Structure 1
Amino acid sequence: MKLWRVIAGVLAAGFVAAGVTPAWACACGGYLPDGQSKARVYGENALVQYAGGTEQITLSMSVRGASKKAAWIMPVPSAAKVDLGDDDYLFYRLNQLTAPKRVVKKTYWPFRDLGIGRGPGDAAGAPAPGAGVSVKEQMTLGPFAITRLGGSSGTAVTDWLRTNGYVVPSTLAANLTPYLAEKWEIVAVKLAPKQAGENLSGATPPLRLTFASDRIVYPMRLSKGATTTQTVTVYVAAEHRVDATRTPDADVTPELLFAGRVDTDMLPKPTDFLTAYTATYREPGKITDDFTFAQAANDDEYQRITYVTENDGFWSTVAVLLVLVLLLGGGVFVLVRRRAAAGARK
Structure 2
Amino acid sequence: MKVWRVVAGVLALGFVAAGVTPAWACACGGYLPDAESRARAYGENALVQYDDGTEQITLSMAINGSSKKAAWIMPVPAAAKVELGETGLFNRLDRMTRPKVVVRKTYWPFRDLGVMGSGPDSAGAPRAGAGVNVRQEMQLGPFSVARLEGTSGTAVTDWLGTNGYVVPSGLAENLTPYLTEKWEIVAVKLAPKQAGESMSGATPPLRLTFASDRIVYPMRLSKGAISEQTVTVYVAAAHRVDATKLPDADVKPELLYAGRVEDHVLTAPADYLTAYSVTYRDPSRITDDFTFERAASDEEFQRIEYVTRNDGFWSTIGVLAGGVLLLGAGAAVIARILVRRSSTDRA
Output the TM-score relative to the length of structure 1: 0.81
Deviation, 1:206, is 1.5
The amino acid of 2:84's aligned partner reads L
> Are the counterparts in 2 of residues 10 and 59 from structure 1 also a CA contact under 8 Å?
no
Name the CA shift for 1:111/1:323 in 2 (closer, same or farther; >3 Å): farther
The answer for the alignment partner of 1:340 in structure 2 is: none
Distance 1:34 1:311 in 2: 51
Q: Deviations 1:160-200 (Å, cap 9, x if unpaired)?
A: 11122211112110000000111111001111111211222
Moved over 3 A (4+): 8-14, 104-114, 122-126, 308-319, 323-327
The answer for the alignment partner of 1:80 in structure 2 is: 80
> Are the counterparts in 2 of residues 51 and 271 from structure 1 also a CA contact under 8 Å?
no
Give identity over the alignment, percent. Answer: 72
Q: Deviations 1:200-244 (Å, cap 9, x if unpaired)?
A: 222222111122212211111111111222222111122221111
The amino acid of 1:192's aligned partner reads A
The answer for the alignment partner of 2:300 in structure 1 is: 301
Name the CA shift for 1:124/1:21 in 2 (closer, same or farther; >3 Å): closer
Deviation, 1:158, is 1.1
Output the TM-score relative to the length of structure 2: 0.80
Deviation, 1:30, is 0.8
The answer for the alignment partner of 2:255 in structure 1 is: 256
Deviation, 1:287, is 1.8
> Are the counterparts in 2 of residues 11 and 27 from structure 1 also a CA contact under 8 Å?
no
The answer for the alignment partner of 1:206 in structure 2 is: 205
Name the CA shift for 1:51/1:313 in 2 (closer, same or farther; >3 Å): farther
The answer for the alignment partner of 1:146 in structure 2 is: 145
> Are the counterparts in 2 of residues 217 and 292 from structure 1 also a CA contact under 8 Å?
yes
Distance 2:154 2:17 in 1: 17
**Aligned pairs (5 A) from 1:107-118:** none
Name the CA shift for 1:208/1:10 in 2 (closer, same or farther; >3 Å): farther
Task: Find the residue that maps to 2:155 and give its secondary structure.
Answer: helix
Name the CA shift for 1:9/1:227 in 2 (closer, same or farther; >3 Å): closer
**Aligned pairs (5 A) from 1:193-232:** 193-232=192-231
Distance 2:227 2:13 in 1: 13
The answer for the alignment partner of 1:27 in structure 2 is: 27
Name the CA shift for 1:223/1:314 in 2 (closer, same or farther; >3 Å): same
The answer for the alignment partner of 1:39 in structure 2 is: 39
Distance 1:174 1:105 in 2: 53
Deviation, 1:148, is 0.8
Q: Deviations 1:26-75 (Å, cap 9, x if unpaired)?
A: 32111111122222222433332223222222212222232211111100
Distance 2:101 2:130 in 1: 58
Distance 1:130 1:285 in 2: 29
**Aligned pairs (5 A) from 1:1-346:** 13-17=14-18, 19-87=19-87, 89-105=88-104, 123=123, 129-310=128-309, 317-322=316-321
Task: Find the residue that maps to 1:61 and give its secondary structure.
Answer: strand
The amino acid of 1:64's aligned partner reads N
Contiguous gaps of at least 5 residues in structure 1: 117-121, 328-346
